Structure 1
Amino acid sequence: MDRNQFIGLILMFALLAVYFTWFAPEPPAPELLTTQEEPIAETVAEATSSDTANITSTLPAISDSAQATLNTQKYGDFAFAASGTASTKTIENDELILTLTNQGGRIKEVVLKKHKDYLGNPLVLVDGSKSKSDLIVDHNGKKVNLSDLTFVPNITKIGGDTTQISYVLSNGSFSIIQKYLLPAKGFEVAYSIESKNLNTVLNPTDVNYNWNHAINRAENNLEDGRYNSNVRYYLENGDYDELAERSNEFEDETLGELVKWVSFKQKFFTAAIIANSSFRSGYVSQTVDFGDTTSVKNLSMQMLIPYSDFANGFGARYYFGSNNYDILKKVAPEFEENLDMGWGPLPLVNKYLIIPIFHFLERFFTNYGIIILIIVVVIRIILAPLTWKSHMSMAKMRAMKPELDEIKAKHDGDMQKAQQEQMKLYQQVGINPVSGCIPMLLQMPILFSLFFFFPNAVELRQQSFLWAHDLSTYDSVLRLPFEIPFYGDHVSLFTLLMTLSTILYTWSNSQITTVQGPMKTLQYMMPIMFLFVLNSYASGLTFYYFVSNMVTFGQTMLFRKIIDEDKIHALLQENKKKNSNKKKSKFQQRLEDAMKANQEAQKKSKKKK
């Protein structure tokens, strides 16, 4: 801006000041509304709610006739319901407290009666200040959001124990009725839309059902909550899918096929809608607002309800509840996927072994620490045959240690020859060197399935045991003044005990095994790694592993007393005499051929060098 422009602006402001001070006309009386003021009213109507509050505090009130004109322009034949006083109704059963609003006839808030958040407050699963659902219809080429309109509520009892609340929008010539049925027990709310003569006011295009939902923070560990929250959905063709659970970036997906249900899943709870027929298609998304520590993730769905279903009767169910497997599996096909149970074969182990045992013990015990301890004993008994076979294999290897040491001394420096001699000895005495590993591998699915079960079991949430105040999260006995990378800023005592017991068990086994060299040192690295990995995991999991280590240690001591290694050695020597002229097995022959081929390749490589 040059000097002339600046001087011109100053003069203009000075003239305006003089004019409004001495020559401005008298303002009109407050009760009169001139036609010149109507554009101002339109501007106010189009402003945001916060802007409207600021503007209307200094402008004359809009007349009823002007407001009616604005409503007619915006809502057409629905303008009769555009004004009204907002009110709420509350209904409840044994599990839920539902608050519904006449603004759109929608669910505003859902409280789970038997759960608390990490601060001890009632657990608000759906928060009216952060969650809103909309029904958007096409009226004369305009998109009308029914959530902006005022419905008339009516509460009745059906069958004595089911509460029905209806929200009616009607002008005599057409009507829309939204009904909610809440039974005396359970986490499901039946939802239906009934209508009359909608063809006279609506274009026959699909209706948008939108639900924007910010998950309230319910757990102390905010980061863990964000890692375990996402949008999940199930298609009519039987395909289940979800947005990336552990992603804190913006994620979205367009669903081009018929959609059966969509859920907003968090670690221990789920809010979902399940269509009786199907949504035609949809769009889902999720993101994180890192500036808001009261919310976990912002989730959104935009579903299309076929117009024929909307006009002739649309039905659905809401689910507002915990991620309990026995409950989820009865809600809808694949709905139990809202509970993380692992990958591959692990969900099968959890569904048909761990969860049935857990729920059976719940009938007799109320202390979940005791239940976990009993599960350890039950699992160890189930695995006892495999554990016995593994110990027998190790006992045979220990019995043959003198002969193996002789072979190593005889072929010192020539690993190929030593391995060939060892394989020949194993064949003669009847030892399968991998037989000890197979039982261990068969136990791994159970160990890994528990890795998913305990951190996600809602039954353990806020259940205390010993010094752990909540078995679903880590037990912190010491808060560190700084954060250690990959470890955290706290000390979990159960994780520490698990690590020490694993090291003790490893040391005990190393005294009697044939493992030598670097492998003997590396076997201690795994417990140290788990000390860092599991420090922030559920204390129920680390408590299980600690007790399991101690039971396994005692089991090992018992097996050592039962197994007579002298008898085993004598039996192996008899086998050696019997099998001295026995032909090599196909597996043995292939193994030796592979060793020879490897040896020849190494020799050629050395010659080239």
Structure 2
Amino acid sequence: MMQQNNGLDRNQLISFFIFSAVLMAFMFYFQNKQTDEAKKSPQDSKTEQKVTTAKPTNAVNITTPVNAAAIKNVTLKNELLTVEFSALGGQISSAKLNQYFAYDKKTDEHDLPLYLINKNNSSYGFQFKDKTGKVFSTKDLIFSPSVAGNSVTMTAQVSGATIQFVYTLLDQYAIDFNVKTQGLSNLVTDDKAEFNWNYSVRGMEKGRSQEQTHSEFNYAFNNYKDADYDTNGFEEPKETLNWIGVKQQFFTSVIETSNGFINSKGTQESIKEGELLKKFNFDGQIKLAGNELNQNFKWYFMPLDLPLLKSFEGKEFDTILPLGWSFIGTLNRWFFVPVYNWLTDWGIAAGWVIFLMTIVTKLVLSPVMYKQHKLSAMMKVVKPEIEEANEKFKNADPLKKQQATMEIYRKAGINQMAGCLPALVQIPIFYALFRFFPNMIDLRGKSFWFVNDLTAYDDLIKLPFNIPLIGEHISIFAIACTVVILIYTIMTSGNMQQQQQPGMPDMRIMMYIFPVTFFFFLNTSSSGLSWYYFVSNALNIFIILAIKHWILDEKKIHAMIQENKAKGPKPEGKFQKRMREMMEKAQEQQKMQEAQKRKK
């Protein structure tokens, strides 16, 4: 079963938890789990991480001498990729995406060359056991390169055995990696080889914490039928992995194997500061045939562009893009992404595309919002009766007060559950957009007004120091969104009932707290998301005014309620019946408890 990362950094997690707790008080409760960052020493975090390799042993004779003159690098290039291969270990030592650029903090633009592999941040190889039980690794061998067209053959000799890595640069973002050995069976007795990949990802986006949170393992198994992700560490002792990848916010590095990795294990470790974000270590076993390793692999260094990922049919690469699980992902893939693409095809700027997407979403939700505001108007009409019932039963059993309130609603034809529907409908939309904006590569680097990148926060207001939960900047879009949410809350909280029981909080006050807590969440989020919610809530205010002054007539609603009362109460719905039965059962239990106390 495919899962998705929660995508929350530490500051967002705290503010979002507060936000969820506020909403839980009157309707529902959310809980997101964020993995704690692994501890790392200051010295390790300030220096670029060098990947550990297996130490050469005396078990085998490495016939090629290790000296600087022998180490030669070769390069293959196409329109999309520039790949360099090192003679040391026969590995890919550099992988550059030619059509993309990395974020430059000095210029606040994406104008630096974008390398997924460079400066020793990646090391991989195969590890074998010889007949004495000693270990040797291809990482320590010196390979001789031979280039022919778009292919390079790396050859190394180990005690009479030959190991060859044949790399072929294919179309798009793929590199064929064919491994061949001859004479290896004379050295080893084990029927398995270990594949080790140590990879420290480098920051390429604005907003370290957001990109760090979006960096994780992804892998497919069960013959590409299932996919999963990992934000901490994983072990798959039973599954055969078809590919393993390390994903960043907008790019990924993937290695695929024709026969699969078994007994796989992955670990990852966050790096607090510096050029590197996270350190990933993957270990998996490869089965040998006749104690020889002859197997085909493929490397992919590619952007997380949904059409591109889908073009690799049967690979399930589109699961790497964290658009959400289950219905959330479906909503993004089949609604928001197509709507966004359709609007951008008209040549509309990204910020205005988001504006139009908001209008489209509001039009889809307009029938639900109309019912919500109609219910609000009906609640306002019966409010005097509710207050009278509260006064009448203020010293009585709370259950009786609740029953009297429900009876008033039932006679007036008011279904309280109808008020929950709009919120429930908007929950998946909120999460879908929470996934959409910071992960849509088409929005990466797109500017709008004072925002340089709609997938990152806007920091026009910079602070000279770091404030907990806020950081070193204040987002203008986050402030604007907070203001309109506060106005919307004030406009819609007038009909909410006051606290009915002593000690219970006034829900209206809690609703006013929500916009403030939401600011901390938006301040470090994608500015595209903040812009969407600003427009969405501004439209909500306009819709409320339109419904109040031009669509709904309180006099007509009052007449309708009186007509409903004259007809008699409607038959109980399933929810109302269950609520009544629960209250009656609670009353019976209370009476039994009181009777037992009297006997004592």
Pairwise same-fold verdict (TM > 0.5): yes
Contact 2:60 2:159 in 1 (8 A): no
Please name the residue that 2:43 is paired with: none
Please name the residue that 2:178 is paired with: 192
Please name the residue that 1:516 is paired with: 498
Does 1:472 pair with 2:455?
Answer: yes
Q: CA separation in 1, counterparts of 2:295 and 2:512?
A: 61
Does 1:79 pair with 2:79?
Answer: no
Identify if the C-alpha distance between structure 1 residues 270 and 344 changes in structure 2 by more than 3 Å, giving closer, same or farther.
Answer: same
Contact 1:225 1:267 in 2 (8 A): yes
**Mapping of residues 52-451 of structure 1, within 5 Å:** 75-76=60-61, 79-80=63-64, 85-119=70-104, 120-139=111-130, 141=132, 142-157=134-149, 163-169=150-156, 175-184=162-171, 186-196=172-182, 198-200=184-186, 202-203=188-189, 205-236=191-222, 240-245=227-232, 251=233, 253=235, 255-290=237-272, 293-308=274-289, 311=292, 313-331=294-312, 333-343=315-325, 345-365=327-347, 367-414=349-396, 415-451=398-434
Identify if the C-alpha distance between structure 1 residues 378 and 587 changes in structure 2 by more than 3 Å, giving closer, same or farther.
Answer: closer
- Cα deviation per residue 1:205-257 (whole Å; 9 max; x = unaligned)? 32222211111122343333333323333333755444435xxxxx4646454
Cα deviation for residue 98 of structure 1 reads 0.7
Match of 2:545 among 557, 570, 573: 557
Contact 2:146 2:153 in 1 (8 A): yes
Does 1:539 pair with 2:527?
Answer: yes
Letter in 1 for 2:338: P
Q: CA separation in 2, counterparts of 1:349 and 1:135?
A: 42
Q: CA separation in 2, counterparts of 1:585 and 1:501?
A: 36
Contact 1:283 1:301 in 2 (8 A): yes
Q: CA separation in 2, counterparts of 1:499 and 1:124?
A: 38
Bigger shift: 109-118 or 535-544? 109-118
Cα deviation for residue 525 of structure 1 reads 0.9
TM-score (ref. length: structure 2)? 0.79
Structure 2 counterpart SS, 1:225: helix
Please name the residue that 1:576 is paired with: 565
Cα deviation for residue 156 of structure 1 reads 3.5
Cα deviation for residue 170 of structure 1 reads 6.8
Letter in 1 for 2:75: T
Letter in 2 for 1:79: T
Q: CA separation in 2, counterparts of 1:383 and 1:310?
A: 63
Cα deviation for residue 537 of structure 1 reads 1.1
Letter in 1 for 2:488: Y
- Cα deviation per residue 1:502-553 (whole Å; 9 max; x = unaligned)? 0111112234x24335122221111111012221111111111111111222
Q: CA separation in 2, counterparts of 1:387 and 1:516?
A: 23
Contact 2:145 2:153 in 1 (8 A): yes
How much identity, in percent, do the aligned residues show? 29
Cα deviation for residue 172 of structure 1 reads 13
Cα deviation for residue 173 of structure 1 reads 8.2
Contact 1:346 1:448 in 2 (8 A): yes
Q: CA separation in 2, counterparts of 1:146 and 1:485?
A: 47
Identify if the C-alpha distance between structure 1 residues 372 and 170 changes in structure 2 by more than 3 Å, giving closer, same or farther.
Answer: same
- Cα deviation per residue 1:265-320 (whole Å; 9 max; x = unaligned)? 22222111111221233332222344x61111111112222111983631122121
Higher relative contact order (CA 8 A, sep 6+): 2
Q: CA separation in 2, counterparts of 1:154 and 1:434?
A: 72
Structure 1 counterpart SS, 2:252: strand
Q: CA separation in 2, counterparts of 1:287 and 1:420?
A: 55
**What number of residue pairs does the alignment pair up?**
525
Structure 2 counterpart SS, 1:79: coil
- Cα deviation per residue 1:454-505 (whole Å; 9 max; x = unaligned)? 1222332222211112212211122223433322232111000000000111
Identify if the C-alpha distance between structure 1 residues 187 and 421 changes in structure 2 by more than 3 Å, giving closer, same or farther.
Answer: same
Structure 2 counterpart SS, 1:436: helix
Cα deviation for residue 429 of structure 1 reads 2.9
Identify if the C-alpha distance between structure 1 residues 480 and 412 changes in structure 2 by more than 3 Å, giving closer, same or farther.
Answer: same
Cα deviation for residue 336 of structure 1 reads 3.1
Q: CA separation in 1, counterparts of 2:89 and 2:581?
A: 78
Structure 2 counterpart SS, 1:112: strand
Q: CA separation in 1, counterparts of 2:96 and 2:336?
A: 30
- Cα deviation per residue 1:17-51 (whole Å; 9 max; x = unaligned)? xxxxxxxxxxxxxxxxxxxxxxxxxxxxxxxxx9x
Q: CA separation in 2, counterparts of 1:200 and 1:140?
A: 9
Identify if the C-alpha distance between structure 1 residues 183 and 596 changes in structure 2 by more than 3 Å, giving closer, same or farther.
Answer: same
Identify if the C-alpha distance between structure 1 residues 503 and 89 changes in structure 2 by more than 3 Å, giving closer, same or farther.
Answer: same
Identify if the C-alpha distance between structure 1 residues 585 and 359 changes in structure 2 by more than 3 Å, giving closer, same or farther.
Answer: closer
Letter in 2 for 1:105: G
Match of 1:500 among 461, 483, 490: 483
Does 1:459 pair with 2:442?
Answer: yes
Structure 1 counterpart SS, 2:103: coil
Q: CA separation in 2, counterparts of 1:203 and 1:339?
A: 41
Q: CA separation in 1, counterparts of 2:464 and 2:158?
A: 66
- Cα deviation per residue 1:414-457 (whole Å; 9 max; x = unaligned)? 45444323322322232211112123212211112211221222
Identify if the C-alpha distance between structure 1 residues 589 and 364 changes in structure 2 by more than 3 Å, giving closer, same or farther.
Answer: closer
Cα deviation for residue 328 of structure 1 reads 3.0
Structure 2 counterpart SS, 1:118: strand
Cα deviation for residue 201 of structure 1 reads 5.2
Identify if the C-alpha distance between structure 1 residues 583 and 103 changes in structure 2 by more than 3 Å, giving closer, same or farther.
Answer: closer
